[in-house]
């Protein structure tokens, strides 16, 4: 498994460098550097804006007594998008830009990549408790320990 991960990372770096070199040969080195810096700055700015929106929706869902699972996954995908946009390279920038589209994130969530999170959803109509009272029933059972304690109390 480690070998597979290392192979994937090597191929990703090789592909990024190949694209950067080819684009640099076509438009020039200075322009490539400006493009890479510009995509990182604009991408991080967009991730920040969308992150605040996701945070606002998460707070609203929590206030309604719902589990903000979808919003949390949107936040994780935005974090991944920011990471991909910071990495220099046009392939990673393209993938990060695609993850910035809310519809794409919703599609990724709904298509089962995060389907296991359905178990964490709160039941429909769940509301936070108004007080700390928990209703229930109990029955007292006598045990040997209770009888021994009663005997000790009689001796005193």
Do residues 46 and 93 make contact, with C-beta atoms less than 8 angstroms apart?
no
- pTM recorded for the entire structure: 0.66
Angle formed by the axes of helices 29-63 and 2-27, nearest 10°: 130
- Using only C-alpha atoms, the chain has a radius of gyration, in whole angstroms, of 28
Tell me the domain boundaries of the chain: 2-120
pLDDT per residue, tens digit, the chain (156 aa), is 889 999 999 999 999 999 999 999 999 989 999 999 999 899 889 999 999 999 999 999 999 988 888 888 899 999 999 999 998 899 999 999 999 999 998 888 887 665 555 555 545 555 555 566 777 777 777 666 666 666 666 666
CA distances from 110 to 22, 25, 70, 116, 118 (A): 37, 41, 10, 11, 10
Are the beta carbons of 85 and 44 closer than 8 angstroms? yes
């Amino acid at each position: 498994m480690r070998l597979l991960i290392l192979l994937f990372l090597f191929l990703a770096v090789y592909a990024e460098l190949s694209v950067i070199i080819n684009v640099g040969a076509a438009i020039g080195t200075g322009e490539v550097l400006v493009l890479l810096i510009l995509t990182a700055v604009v991408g991080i700015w967009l991730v920040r804006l969308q992150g605040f929106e996701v945070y606002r929706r998460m707070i609203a869902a929590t206030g309604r007594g719902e589990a903000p699972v979808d919003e949390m996954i949107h936040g994780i995908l935005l974090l991944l998008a920011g990471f991909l946009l910071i990495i220099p390279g046009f392939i990673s920038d393209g993938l990060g830009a695609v993850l910035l589209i809310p519809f794409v994130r919703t599609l990724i969530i709904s298509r089962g990549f995060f389907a296991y999170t359905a178990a964490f959803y709160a039941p429909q109509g769940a509301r936070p408790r108004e007080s700390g009272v928990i209703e229930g029933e109990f029955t007292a059972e006598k045990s040997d320990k209770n009888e021994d304690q009663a005997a000790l109390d009689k001796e005193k």
